[in-house]
Structure 1
Amino acid sequence: MGEAVRYPKLRPVDLRPMNRNGRSYILVRDPLRLSDQMVLIPQPLAPVLALCDGTRDLRAIRAALMVRYGVRVDEEALRALIATLDELYLLDNSRFAEAQARALEDYRRAPFRPPMLAGEVYPADPEDLRRMIRRFHEAAAPDDPVSEGRGLLSPHIDYARGGRTYARAWARAAPFVREADLVILLGTDHYGEDGAITLTRQHYATPFGVLPTAQPIVDALARALGEEAAFAGELRHRGEHSIELAAVWLHAIREEKPVELVPILCGPFVSFIEGDLDPMDDPRIARFLETLRAAVAGRRAVVVAAGDLSHVGPAFGGRPLDLRGRARLKAEDESLIAHMVAGDAAGFFARIRETRDRNNVCGVSPIYLALRLLEPTTGELVDYELCPADEAGTSVVSICGILWR
C-alpha cells in the first residue's frame, strides 16, 4: 500500500444519509464524477471518513475509532474500505490528481459541456422537456410578465420540488430575458474552496442546443482573478448542477434561442462569515466585480443568481424541524429576502454573519455578488417555498424567486 493510501486523506465528497432494509448508511459520491460508482458505508463506520485526514495510518484510524467512538473494526475490513475509496479516486493522492488531469483535458476538448442531469432530474428529450416545463407553468399560475428588469434569483433545487418557483420567476422575467444579448449566470459552487470564483471557457449545452460562452469576457475576468486561480477548479463545472438547472430554464424561456453566457461558479464565503471583513474588502473580488461591470456596460445583460436559501433539519446535521422551528425559519428567511428585495448587499451579508449562517443558506455568494453587480437595484419577491428534504418531513430547503430592476 502506497504512502498516500497508508495515510489516506479524503477529498471533498458528497455525503448523504441513507436507509436500506432498516439499516443506516452514508452514501459517498464524487462530485467531480471521476467515477460513477458510489460507496455505501454503514453508519457506525462513518467516523472513518473524518479520520481520513492525511495524518493517520490504518493502525491510528483503528485506534481512534475504538477510543473516540467505541467502534471496533477488523483491520482487513478497514484496509478494504480505504482501498475502495482509493480505487474510486476519492482520496487526495497522485491517482486522483492523474484522473482529474485526464478528465479536465477531456472536458476542455469537448465541443461543449453536456447537460449532466438530463435524463435524471429532467427529460433529455427536448419535446418531453417542453411538456414538463409547460406543466409547471400551467400549475404555477405566474403573475403577468414584466418588460423591465436586469436580474433574477432562480433556485437550483431539483425541478420536482422547486418547479413552481422556477416557473413563476422565469415567466415573470420572460420579456427582458428574451431581449438579453448576454447572461451572467452566477451559481453556487457546492464543493468549491472558500472564496473561490471559478470560470470556464467551455460552452454550456441544454437539450435545446448550445449556449455559447462569451470567451472574451471570461478572458478579462481571468486576468482580473489570475489565470491559475480562475481555472483551478474548472472541472467542477462539469458536475455542478446549479448553473445547469438555471440554464435549462433560461433556454426554455428564450423559446430555445441561444444567448451569450458567462457561467461562473461561486465558492462559499466562510472566512468572511466567520471574520469581520465584507467580501468587497477582498481586492480580488472587487477587481472581479469591476471587470464584470465594465463587460456588461452597454449590453442588454441579465444577471442570474442560481441559489437556494436555508437547509435545515437532520438531513443537514441539525435537529428535526417542528412547527415552531418552521415559523422561526420563515421569519429569518423573510429578513434575508427583505435585504435582497431592497438591493442591500451589505445588509444581506451582515444578516448572514450575524447568525453565523446557522440556516446553511446555499446561495450566499452568488446572491451577494449579483446584488453587488446590479447595485443600485431594487426587486420584488415572486415566490417563496419550503421544500421537503427528508421522508419524515423534519428537514426542509427554502427557496425563492426574486426579480431585480
Structure 2
Amino acid sequence: MTSETRPKLRRIQAGPGHWQGQPVIVLRDPLGLVDMAVAIPRNVAPFLELCDGTRDVATLSTALELRTGLRLWPGYVEKMLAELDEVLLLENERFAQAYRETVERFRSNPSRPSTLAGTVYPANPEWLDRTFTEYFDMASPEAGDVPDIEQIRGLVSPHIDYNRGAAIYAEVWRRAAAAVREAEVAVILGTNHSDCEKLITMTQQSYATPWGVLPTASDVVDKVAAALGEEEVFAEELHHRGEHSVEIAAVWLHYLVKDKVCELVPVLCGSFHKFVAGEGQPGEDEQVTLFVDAVREATADRRTLIVAAGDLSHVGPAFGDHYPVDGVGRADMSVADGELMDTIARGDAEGMFLRVKKEGDRRRICGLSPIYLALRLLGETTGKVTGYAQCPADQQETSLVSICGMVFI
C-alpha cells in the first residue's frame, strides 16, 4: 500500500470485544472470504469512518487528530491498514479478485452445501428423520379451524434454531404437509441477515440437505433476473452461502417431499429499513413490483407453495435495549405480536408494513420483508395462526425472540 493509496472500507461486520482486558471492536468480513478477524482499540473507531476512499494515508492521520484529538504514532495507520487489507476488508483489486474467485467456486459446486447440518440439526439423514418425527409428535393432534390442507397456498415458518422453535415448526409444517407434498415449486423467502444493499438476492445454485439436493427452478430465477437485472439480483449472491434462513425452511420442505421432485426458488430478502425510515413504501417500489410480477408469471402454470421464513420481535438487552424484558414486557410483546399477526392473517401486506413503520420497527421484526413479499405473491388471501412462542435470546432470559407459524389459502 503506497502513500498515495486512498483506502476505502467495505461493508463489514463490527462488534464489541475485549483483547488483553481492553475494549476493542472486532471487524469481520460478512461474506466469509477469509476466516480471520481484526481487532482495533475502541477509541480508534472513528478512523474507520474516515476510510471512505477520499483520503490518502497521511490525510487519514490528520483527519483523525482533527476529529478526535487522537494522535497516532508514525506507522500505526499503515500497520492498521495493512491488517485490514490482509483480511480483505478494503475495497480494492485484491478484494475484487478474491471475491470473483469465491463466486466462481460457489457457482461451480454441485450444490450449495448445508451449513447447519451437524450443529442445528443432525447431518445423518436417518437421525434427522427421527428428529423430525419426534418434532411432529409434539404437534397438536387436532387441526382446529385451520383451512383444509388442499387449500393451503403458503405459510410463515420461523428461521430460529430448531431447539427453541421445534413445536412451532412442527405444527405449521404438519398442517401444510399435504400441500407441500403436492407442490411442484416452492418459493422460500428468507431474511438476509447480512448488511446488504439489495432487496432481492437470488442464486441459480441448488440447496443441499442431508437427504440430497433440492433442484433450483432455474427458469423462475432467470425470469426474475431478466425483470430486475442480473447485477441487481446476483450482486450479493454469496450471501446465500452462509445465510441460514432459506436453508432452515428448505430442510422441512425436503423432509416432506423426500424423493418427489419439488423445485426450489431460494430468495434472500433485504432490509426494509429505508422504507421504515420514510424513503417511500414497498408497495410503490418498482423492484418489488417487478419481482412479484416475474415470480407470478413464471410459476403460473405450476402448483406453487409460498414460504416466508421469518421471525417476529427481537427485544431486550441482547438486541440493544436498555432494560430486560419482564412479565409486563412479555405481555405487551404478546399483544403487539398478536395485532401484527391479525394483520398478516388478513393478507394485508401494506397494513403489516405500516404497523411496523408506525412504531419505528422498535421490536425489530426481522421477518418483515419475507412475510410482506409472501403476502404480495399470494395476492388475495387469508391465513390462520398455527402457533406462537416467545423464545429466550440470552442466558438470563431477559431478551426474547418471538416466532409464529401461519398457513394461507
Q: What is the TM-score normalised by the length of structure 1?
A: 0.88
Tell me the SS of whatever aligns to 2:265: strand
Which residue in the other structure is 1:266 paired with? 269
How far did residue 64 of structure 1 move?
Answer: 7.3
Q: Which residue of 2 aligns with 1:350?
A: 354
Range that drifts further, 138-147 or 78-87? 138-147
Which stretch shifts more, 323-332 or 348-357? 323-332
Question: Which residue number in structure 2 is paired with residue 370 of structure 1?
Answer: 374
* Among 331, 353, 367, the residue aligned to 1:327: 331
Measure the CA separation in 2 of the matches of 1:189 and 1:28: 19
1:360 aligns with 2:329: no
| Amino acid aligned to 1:92 | E
Q: Deviation string for 1:196-229 (max 9, x for gaps)?
A: 2122111111111111111111111111112221
Who is 2:34 aligned against?
35
Distance 1:335 1:159, change over 3 A: same
Instruction: Output the amino acid matched with 2:269.
Output: C
CA contact (8 A) 1:195 1:270 kept: no
Deviation at 1:69, TM superposition (A): 7.0
Structure 2 match to 1:285 = 288
Which residues in structure 2 correspond to 1:92-107 (within 5 Å)?
92-107=91-106
CA–CA distance in structure 1, aligned partners of residues 71 and 404 of structure 2: 46
Larger mean CA deviation between 270-279 and 9-18 belongs to 9-18
Residue 169 of structure 2, aligned match among 166, 170, 178: 166
Deviation at 1:154, TM superposition (A): 1.2
Equivalent position of 1:90 in the other structure: 89
Alignment match, 2:307: 304
Contact 1:19/1:25, CA 8 A, preserved across alignment: yes
Distance in 1 between residues matched to 2:333 and 2:369, nearest whole Å: 20
SS in 1 for 2:11: coil
Unaligned runs of 5+ in 2: none
Distance in 2 of aligned mates of 1:314 and 1:70: 32
Q: Which residue of 1 aligns with 2:246?
A: 243
The alignment's C-alpha RMSD in Å is 2.9
Deviations 1:12-47, CA, capped at 9 Å, x for gaps: 333445578987655443331211233455655555
Amino acid across the alignment from 1:227: E
| 1:259–1:70 CA distance, 2 compared to 1 (3 A) | farther
Q: Partners of 1:310 and 1:125 in 2: how far apart?
A: 32
Deviation at 1:120, TM superposition (A): 3.1
Q: Which moved more, 1:240-249 or 1:157-166?
A: 157-166
1:77/1:132 Cα in 2 relative to 1: closer, same or farther (>3 Å)? farther
After superposition, the C-alpha distances for 1:161-193 in whole angstroms (9 at most, x for unaligned) are: 222222222122111111111101111122264
Query: Computing the radius of gyration over CA atoms, which structure comes out larger, 1 or 2?
Result: 2
Q: Secondary structure at the match of 2:176?
A: helix
- Give the TM-score normalised by the residue count of structure 2: 0.87
Greater alpha carbon shift after TM alignment, 220-229 vs 309-318:
309-318
Q: Which moved more, 1:56-65 or 1:327-336?
A: 56-65
Structure 1 unpaired stretches of 5+: none
Equivalent position to 2:208, from 205, 209, 212: 205
Deviations along 1:212-253, whole A, 9 cap, x unmatched? 111111111111112221212112111211111111111112
User: 2-side partners of 1:53 and 1:279: how far apart?
Assistant: 30
Which residue among 336, 342, 351 is the counterpart of 1:338?
A: 342
| Letter of the structure 2 residue corresponding to residue 170 of structure 1 | W
Aligned residues: 404
Secondary structure at the counterpart of residue 330 of structure 2? helix
Distance in 2 between the 1:262 and 1:163 partners? 24
Q: Is the 8 A contact 1:251 1:258 kept in 2?
A: no
Output the CA distance in 1 between the equivalents of 2:316 and 2:110. 41
- State the alpha-carbon separation in 1 of the partners of residues 70 and 380 from structure 2: 56
